[in-house]
Structure 1
Amino acid sequence: MGVPVAVEELSVSYGRTPVLQRVSLSVGAGEFVALLGPSGCGKTTLLRSIAGFVKPDSGRILAGGRDITTLAPERRGAAMVFQSYALWPHMTVARTIGYGLEVRGWDRPRIAARVTEMLRLLRLDGLGERLPAQLSGGQRQRVALGRALAIGPEILLLDEPMSNLDARIREGVRHELRALQRQLGITAIHVTHDREEAMILADRIVLLHEGRIAQEGAPEELWARPASAYVADFLGATNRLTVRVRPDSAAETAAAEAPLRLSPGRAPPPGMALAHFRPEEARILAPGETLDGLVFHGTVALSAYPGGRWRAAIRVGEEEALVDVPDRLPEGAAVRLGIPAAAAHVFAAQTSDRQAAVTVASQ
């Protein structure tokens, strides 16, 4: 079974460049946590600090209540699966999976039994004598995972292990990994830049930005209630249209339709603001249709078919937003673009990435 992990006020610099800035994070025993963010946000440095490959400038790392900050990687009770898999080309699958056990002094019969167990668990039966070059990408990924799991780690660290797989294989491997983690009850910390991967795998997502935690929580919490414009944008709310926030904390559009009351205590200051929303959550309203949300008047600039639905670009004044629609819309047509209250996230136009968000909802 896994152990809880705690990162306390961790700071890491590369030369004079700060990479992590007093990051604190707790991971429960048996929990699957995804460290999410773009390149350069600090997620891999945080993972490698937990693994013992990066020395922090300050702060502590605890595993099961034990301070592991200065321990060598092999003494931390953790195993890591690397992005490249790091499989030895001359070693068979069976030898690769059992290598860590050899290093630990296990006898051959015991190693063989453990390797057989791992091959069965990871659906690699019959492949024990193959070399990495004879395996598919998904099989190589499972071999790397088997090597990590064979030693019975309390913590499993995953550094973008599916980034080298094609989309079709990756989708299946995600679900396999999640099922395996639950079956074993192991504590897992997974680095990824793929928001869909994080949403599928994680009990909790930790979204990083410039060496700090921008927001953490259950996937559905971050999706529905992003804490900043940065979080909203990273989680797919890439459309942005201008609204005005009134002194009574209601948002109104230039369409002069009914304003939308913002959540009490979370509205940005009165003035210009931006409503963030996802293409799939917006709607084209029928004539006379009302909506509990924001309504914009615009024209169709372009329609395209990415598969399964049409996507229309709607021009609103000097701005443009994308919306998914069931049928093609004629270019130049006048439309009313509706953003349901639960789908609109309003932030001050000049907000910093750490400013609290507003998830609009009618009162």
Structure 2
Amino acid sequence: MNHTLDVKNLKTHYSSEEGKVKAVDGVSFAIGENQVFGLAGESGCGKSTLIRTIMRLIPKSAKVTAERLLFKEHDLLRVSDKFFREKILWQGISLVPQSAMNALNPVYRVGDQCTEAILAHTNVSKAKAVETVVKMFDAVGLQSGLMKAYPHEFSGGMRQRAMLAMSLVLSPELVVMDEPTTGLDVLVQERILRNLKEIRKNTKTSAAILLITHDISVIAGMSDRIGIMYAGKLMETADSMELFNEPYHPYTLGLKNAFPSIKALDRELISIPGSPPNLTHNIPGCLFYERCPFSIDVCRYEKPEEMEVLPNHFVQCHRTEHVMEFRKLAGEKKTWQFSK
């Protein structure tokens, strides 16, 4: 498979008064052409830092290293800022940010903001740019007359659709979506996610999508592959259906317990005890050790290596051979009621 984005051992570390913050610490994944890769994890796990690293939005004080950080044939660690802005941003990689209201200029008509993105990166006429935006508004379910409206005249769902339209006007090869349904009611969330694949079909785009969320249920039916991120690392990565049907990592099992299922409406939701570790601390073992009901001594003192437990299914855990037992016990509330 040809990869649109290929990331190998990516690290983004910040300096702070407490010490080095390992916000992203050795993350590896790849996104194929026309593939949706979902990245899920708790707030503070490093998802947004990962996005900012890819989009080159992190401060100069941060240290970024990687064996590979490739967008198509371009090395994102080595291309100049000028080349990235002119040749990759919007045309190659576009971003739908977490807060659409904050992303849109409040005193600038929404249609003009979308048109500006085209004019800044291509040599087409303004009339052609407006024509493209009209078609894109129609594709995302917005009437063309709304191009003359200001952001405050849009509802939350409409602003998200406008940002999605803006991200697709130049037919990028990768669309990064950061918490696209945050702050929206469940009906609007469902509508946006349900229409996303249809929008891609209507716009005849083959763009790959990196879909970031803290809600694993958001990406359940949207993603081809899913990565579960915790404390700056990917704990488990697999094809979407396989990850839900055959999860291996205790953290993945815990996340599944925390969200309702239409197949078991009477099932009690179970939360994961404790909090993520302080990323300035030097933790010798598994980062999930303190919160894991299945951890043993080796988990505390030795970091687990990433292993391929099934074809293209990767896990960082010392105890994968006990997964059948873990799956059975993880659904019981008493399993997660422990202290260390």
User: What TM-score does the superposition give when structure 2 sets the normalisation length?
Assistant: 0.70
Query: Which of 316, 324, 327 is residue 359 of structure 1 equivalent to?
Result: 324
CA 1:150–1:3 in structure 2 vs 1: closer, same or farther (change >3 Å)? farther
Structure 1 gaps, min length 5? 239-277, 283-308, 314-319, 322-346
Query: Corresponding residue for 1:233?
Result: 254
Query: Which of 70, 78, 85 is residue 62 of structure 1 equivalent to?
Result: 70
Q: Deviations over 1:82-117 (max 9, x none)?
A: 011101111222112112112224321211111111
Structure 2 gaps, min length 5? 272-291, 300-315, 329-340
Q: Measure how far apart 1:144 and its partner are.
A: 0.7
Contact 1:226 1:359 in 2 (8 A): no
Contact 1:122 1:146 in 2 (8 A): yes
Query: Corresponding residue for 1:145?
Result: 164
Q: How does 1:265-344 map to 2 (within 5 A)?
A: 310=266
Find the residue that maps to 1:235 and give its secondary structure.
helix
Contact 2:98 2:182 in 1 (8 A): yes
Contact 1:93 1:132 in 2 (8 A): yes
Query: Which of 169, 183, 198 is residue 179 of structure 1 equivalent to?
Result: 198
Distance 1:63 1:133 in 2: 35
* Matched AA of 2:119: E
Query: Which of 87, 100, 112 is residue 95 of structure 1 equivalent to?
Result: 112
Distance 1:158 1:56 in 2: 24
Contact 1:47 1:157 in 2 (8 A): yes
Query: Corresponding residue for 1:48?
Result: 52
Distance 1:136 1:32 in 2: 26
CA 1:109–1:198 in structure 2 vs 1: closer, same or farther (change >3 Å)? same
Contact 2:171 2:205 in 1 (8 A): no
Find the residue that maps to 1:185 and give its secondary structure.
coil
Query: Corresponding residue for 1:258?
Result: none
* Matched AA of 2:111: A
Q: Measure how far apart 1:281 and its partner are.
A: 7.3
In the alignment, structure 1 residue 107 sits paired with structure 2 residue 114: no
Find the residue that maps to 2:209 and give its secondary structure.
strand
Q: How does 1:19-38 map to 2 (within 5 A)?
A: 19-38=23-42
Find the residue that maps to 1:359 and give its secondary structure.
helix
Distance 2:267 2:137 in 1: 45
Distance 1:26 1:44 in 2: 17
Contact 2:4 2:173 in 1 (8 A): no
Q: Measure how far apart 1:348 and its partner are.
A: 7.1
Q: Deviations over 1:142-192 (max 9, x none)?
A: 111111111221110111121021112111111111322355221110110
CA 1:358–1:140 in structure 2 vs 1: closer, same or farther (change >3 Å)? same
Contact 2:93 2:175 in 1 (8 A): yes
Higher helix share: 2
Find the residue that maps to 2:181 and give its secondary structure.
coil
Query: Corresponding residue for 2:7?
Result: 7
Query: Corresponding residue for 2:311?
Result: none
Query: Which of 343, 346, 349 is residue 294 of structure 2 equivalent to?
Result: 349
In the alignment, structure 1 residue 196 sits paired with structure 2 residue 217: yes
Distance 2:54 2:170 in 1: 18
Contact 2:140 2:161 in 1 (8 A): yes
Contact 2:115 2:133 in 1 (8 A): yes
Q: Measure how far apart 1:38 and its partner are.
A: 0.5
Query: Corresponding residue for 1:80?
Result: 95
Query: Corresponding residue for 1:287?
Result: none
Provide the aligned length of Structure 1 versus Structure 2: 265
Q: Measure how far apart 1:205 and its partner are.
A: 0.6
Distance 1:42 1:310 in 2: 33
Q: Measure how far apart 1:24 and its partner are.
A: 1.4
CA 1:21–1:310 in structure 2 vs 1: closer, same or farther (change >3 Å)? closer
Identity %: 25
Farther off after superposition, 57-66 or 81-90: 57-66
Contact 1:99 1:147 in 2 (8 A): no
Contact 1:3 1:155 in 2 (8 A): no
In the alignment, structure 1 residue 120 sits paired with structure 2 residue 138: yes
Q: Measure how far apart 1:53 and its partner are.
A: 1.5
CA 1:171–1:79 in structure 2 vs 1: closer, same or farther (change >3 Å)? same
Q: Measure how far apart 1:235 and its partner are.
A: 1.9
CA 1:203–1:181 in structure 2 vs 1: closer, same or farther (change >3 Å)? farther
Q: Measure how far apart 1:233 and its partner are.
A: 0.4
* Matched AA of 2:181: M
Q: Deviations over 1:295-347 (max 9, x none)?
A: xxxxxxxxxxxxxx55679xxxxxx99xxxxxxxxxxxxxxxxxxxxxxxxx9
Q: Deviations over 1:175-234 (max 9, x none)?
A: 111322355221110110011101121111111111111111122211122222111001
Q: Measure how far apart 1:29 and its partner are.
A: 0.8
Query: Corresponding residue for 1:262?
Result: none
Q: Measure how far apart 1:279 and its partner are.
A: 8.3
Distance 1:106 1:280 in 2: 49
Q: Measure how far apart 1:63 and its partner are.
A: 1.4
